[in-house]
Structure 1
């Protein structure tokens, strides 16, 4: 996996190492962090591009994020694509969760799924919520799911 910063700089180390270094540096400055992880996707012809983000929120001091993009060349039903977005976010959250526990950092998984039944993505809401909560993670859906619906959305090229 090749993660990058918002400015495009590639992250050469494993993401877990970078996240721990980031947490240590922020905590050393006395900054309280919250982390939100989300994924969004966009269909582009025969391909689907996914962007997963790890958003670090600094209490009273802005934030920053790390980004991972991936393209898959196959068609997905919308419900399948929504649940794959959630699975990608959970994969990252699961890899990093011991760090968040170790450093007492609040973490949420954000799903780009609409809570309004009039939207197609709503078909996946119950399964996504069950998946995320079942893994023991805090869950947010639209409109509160900014990591997926705003941050990751902007990173899908």
Structure 2
């Protein structure tokens, strides 16, 4: 059972229409305002009983002027081991990054995909690090893992916990 919700802003306001159109409007607005943007995409998850909730975020960072984000939640009842869950998180982020990559390129906006995977081998999530890094960089995207992966480990983490 998969439940996919619509994109929304942090204040709960729903984002209507295709996400590519909405992101293009945001990039145009920010460009017109003279803001230099960087975008980070990340996903985090939390097991809640028999369900796993995923939160994917698109974080828009205005250089020197704060930022904002778009959020999407997904819930699944599929049981997963931690490595599989980490790789599903990465796949969800890559799906969004791939869908939006042409829009970011058109506006000259740099983008990173953040994985909520620890670079310290002492953590269970580290088992998925090599696969995640290969998957993200193989798709041509810049990769960040913990502790630099704030889009997934801080922003998405706040939404799903």
Query: What is the TM-score when the length of structure 2 is the normalising length?
Result: 0.96
What is the distance in 2 between the residues matched to 1:135 and 1:33? 22
1:56-75 correspondence to structure 2 within 5 Å: 56-75=60-79
1:91-102 correspondence to structure 2 within 5 Å: 91-102=95-106
Equivalent pairs, count: 157
- Residues 1:139 and 2:129 aligned together: no
Displacement of 1:12 after TM fit? 1.2
- Residues 1:84 and 2:84 aligned together: no
RMSD: 0.7
Unaligned ranges ≥5, structure 2: none
- Residues 1:124 and 2:128 aligned together: yes
Unaligned ranges ≥5, structure 1: none
Secondary structure at 1:136 match in 2: coil
What is the distance in 1 between the residues matched to 2:50 and 2:79? 7
Q: Deviating runs (4+, > 3 A) in structure 1?
A: none
Alignment counterpart, residue 26 of structure 1, candidates 12, 15, 30: 30
Query: What is the TM-score when the length of structure 1 is the normalising length?
Result: 0.99
